[in-house]
Amino acid sequence: MRGHPKILGVIPARLESTRLPGKVLLMIGSRPMLQWVYDRARESPLLNELYVATDSEKVQQCCLERKIPVILTQQHPSGSDRLYEVMQRTSGEIYVNIQGDEPTIRAHHIESMLRPILDGNTQVSTLKVAIDGTAAQNPNIVKVVTDHRSRALYFSRAPIPFGKDAAGNIQYYKHIGIYGYTRAALDLFHNLPQSPLEQYEKLEQLRFLENGITIMVAETLQDTIGVDTEADLKRAAAFLIAE
């Protein structure tokens, strides 16, 4: 697609994971999970360039062997902070943060998420999908609530909103962990201190909300399978092999 700003996709990939160690390099069929993420994200025509960003030499070596563009970074407390280092070394106008544990991501997700930024409505955007009440109870699934203009009100690992008298009629939304940032927004994020809610929930996007910065949340009808556990890995493998 011609005429849009230069957009760089970045897949922050750290090797350490408390729930599923080394998960970005775990094999799904004949490919490590990280390559699935890269190959599927690369299908988006909006991304001018796509890189893996890691502080792990093991991850770097895997990428080099598979001809995946990779940038070796310093250690960082969050994926967005790692993205900031990449921004300092590249010339993009918009940066897309693509989680390294989302092997079922589609080009559609990237395009839907970027639309509010490309339309000039925000400097930060992300994605949500409807889920049922059972899924909402899972703390590994981050939930989001928005206002009537699709602006994020809050993100939480708890089921939100809390339905005191709703008798099961609440529509919950899962936050799909893909973000778009303008260069200015990413610079601002990096220079803000970690916020209290960000530290409580272990959700870096709350740093924006606590500082009054709007996050637009686009909706998709297609869920993803984020990999946090062995069970998630099996589900993602079944999906990808069957597709």
Residue 181 domain-assigned? yes
Residue 203 domain-assigned? yes
The pLDDT > 90 percentage for the chain reads: 86
Q: What is the CATH number of the domain that holds 28?
A: 3.90.550.10
What mean pLDDT value characterizes the chain? 93
Counting the structural domains of the chain, the total is: 1
pLDDT in tens, 111-169: 999 999 999 999 999 999 999 999 999 998 999 999 999 999 999 999 999 887 766 68
Residue 1 domain-assigned? no
pLDDT in tens, 49-77: 999 999 999 999 999 999 999 999 998 87
Q: Sign (positive/negative) of CA torsion 189, 87, 82, 26? A: positive
What is each CA distance from 216 to 23, 46, 200, 206, in whole angstroms? 29, 18, 22, 13
pLDDT in tens, 190-200: 999 999 999 99
User: Cα separation of 26 and 233, whole Å?
Assistant: 9
Residue 31 domain-assigned? yes
Task: Report which of 7, 218, 6, 226 is spatially closest to residue 113, judged by C-alpha positions.
Answer: 218
Binned at pLDDT 50, 70 and 90, residue 17 comes out as: confident
pLDDT in tens, 203-215: 999 999 999 999 9
Contacts of 138 (CB under 8 A, 6+ apart): none
| Gyration radius (Cα) of the chain, Å | 17
Full domain range(s) for residue 108? 7-242
Residue 161 domain-assigned? yes
SS3 sequence of 43-96: CCCCCCEEEEEECCHHHHHHHHHCCCCEEECCCCCCHHHHHHHHHHCCCCCEEE
pTM of the model: 0.93
Pairing of strands 49-54, 7-12: parallel
